[in-house]
């Protein structure tokens, strides 16, 4: 039986990786009859798009989409998935951290009947401590706070069957988080392990602030538990305040020591004010999301493509 494979590669300022990822991929895919390499240029400001275009002139199996600006990794991936034509679609990073040599194993699993083949990456030894800790914290809290279970090493390197790719077309959320969405979808899923390589060239696009944003987005897109937090913390504080009130009444009527309480009043006002601000912030995040999603703007815009 013959089938076609699409490989989707989101690229943002990866000019020095395009050549190597292309040659690795063609090497691995040589034994497959039909395949396409779909590069998505996510508004790069370097020569990434030019490199892709000149490669596409030499190889008709290269398709590309250039987004009108930088829309972010998740939206670039989505753009690729929406335009891929294969019977199965594989997504992987341009920086060679996702080894193309794993592709035959993914395809094998797919042929055994799995609709989604996820990959779980082992920990990168050279990863900065901060990134390792934040990433662990992120998955801990997302799993605690939401109803989907996301494996800590889940990478955006996976194979999806055509019917899953088609199902994903119905998801037009602006706060897309595929690592959370894919387990939620159901279907017949499995996972394979891999050891990530070092970034081939260039530097990571996920700096701390960006990871924090992804974390907050991930949690607030999949859970409304943080909203209940305010009720919980609020009632705890109310209970403590009530006890303290009883104590104050007792002091007033049964002892001689009158109102030296400036410190405690100031402290409690500040404390409660702080808690209220945090809770307002949480509510604000959700409200902001409702606002953005409500506009129903497209997730990405295409400036140019070759198919």
**Which residues form the interface with Mg ion (CB under 5 A)?**
93, 95, 97
Which one, 187 or 206, has the nearer CB to ligand UDP? 206
Can you point out the beta strands (E) in the chain? 4-11, 34-41, 62-67, 88-91, 116-121, 158-161, 189-194, 302-305
Contacts by 288-297 with C-beta closer than 8 Å and gap 24+?
A: 289/175, 289/220, 289/221, 292/174, 292/175, 293/173, 293/174, 293/175, 296/172, 297/174
Place of tokens 């992120």: 138
**Sole binder of ligand UDP in the list 205, 225, 289, 305 (CB under 6 A):** 205
**Sole binder of ligand UDP in the list 72, 86, 100, 218 (CB under 6 A):** 72
How far apart (Å, rounded) are the C-alpha atoms in residues 63 and 45? 20
**Sole binder of ligand UDP in the list 5, 52, 94, 214 (CB under 6 A):** 94
Q: Which stretch binds ligand UDP (CB under 6 A): 94-102, 103-111, 118-126, 299-307?
A: 94-102
Shortest distance in whole angstroms from residue 264 CB to ligand UDP: 48
Shortest distance in whole angstroms from residue 128 CB to ligand UDP: 11
User: With CB cut-offs between 5 and 8 Å by kind, which of ligand UDP, Mg ion, none does residue 11 bind?
Assistant: ligand UDP
For residues 85 and 4, is the Cβ–Cβ distance under 8 A?
Answer: yes
Contact status: 204 vs ligand UDP (CB under 6 A): yes
Which one, 193 or 204, has the nearer CB to Mg ion? 204
Q: Which stretch binds ligand UDP (CB under 6 A): 69-77, 137-145, 254-262, 292-300?
A: 69-77
CB atoms closer than 10 angstroms to residue 78: 26
How far apart (Å, rounded) are the C-alpha atoms in residues 21 and 273? 53
CB atoms closer than 10 angstroms to residue 174: 18
Which one, 91 or 221, has the nearer CB to ligand UDP? 91
**Sole binder of ligand UDP in the list 63, 73, 83, 158 (CB under 6 A):** 73
Contact status: 82 vs ligand UDP (CB under 6 A): no
For residues 211 and 138, is the Cβ–Cβ distance under 8 A?
Answer: yes
| Structure tokens, 54 | 């000149």
User: Binding residues for ligand UDP, per CB under 6 A?
Assistant: 10-12, 14, 42, 70, 72-73, 76, 93-95, 97, 204-206
């Amino acid at each position: 039986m013959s089938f076609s494979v699409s490989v989707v590669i989101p690229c943002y300022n990866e000019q020095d990786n395009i050549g190597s990822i292309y040659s690795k991929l063609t090497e691995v895919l040589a034994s497959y009859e039909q395949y396409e390499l779909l590069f998505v240029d996510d508004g790069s400001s370097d020569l990434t798009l030019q490199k892709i275009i000149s490669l596409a002139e030499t190889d008709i199996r290269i398709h590309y989409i250039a987004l009108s600006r930088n829309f972010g990794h998740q939206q670039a991936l989505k753009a690729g998935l929406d335009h891929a034509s294969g019977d199965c679609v594989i997504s992987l990073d341009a920086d060679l951290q996702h080894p193309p040599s794993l592709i035959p194993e993914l395809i094998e699993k797919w042929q055994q009947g799995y609709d989604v083949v996820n990959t779980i990456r082992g920990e990168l030894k050279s990863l900065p401590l901060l990134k390792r800790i934040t990433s662990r914290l992120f998955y801990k809290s997302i799993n605690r706070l939401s109803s989907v279970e996301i494996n800590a090493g889940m990478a955006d390197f996976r194979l999806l069957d055509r019917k899953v790719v088609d199902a994903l077309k119905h998801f037009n959320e602006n706060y897309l988080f595929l690592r959370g969405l894919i387990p939620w979808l159901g279907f017949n899923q499995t996972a394979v392990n891999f050891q990530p390589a070092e970034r081939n060239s260039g530097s990571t696009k996920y700096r701390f602030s960006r990871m924090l944003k992804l974390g907050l987005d991930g949690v607030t897109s999949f859970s409304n538990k943080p909203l209940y937090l305010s009720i919980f913390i609020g009632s705890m504080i109310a209970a403590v305040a009530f006890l303290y009130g009883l104590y104050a009444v007792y002091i007033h009527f049964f002892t001689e020591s009158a109102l030296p309480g400036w410190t405690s009043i100031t402290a409690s006002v500040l404390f409660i004010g702080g808690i209220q601000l945090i809770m307002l912030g949480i509510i604000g995040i959700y409200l902001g999301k409702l606002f953005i999603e409500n506009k129903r703007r497209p997730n990405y815009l295409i400036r140019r493509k070759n198919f």
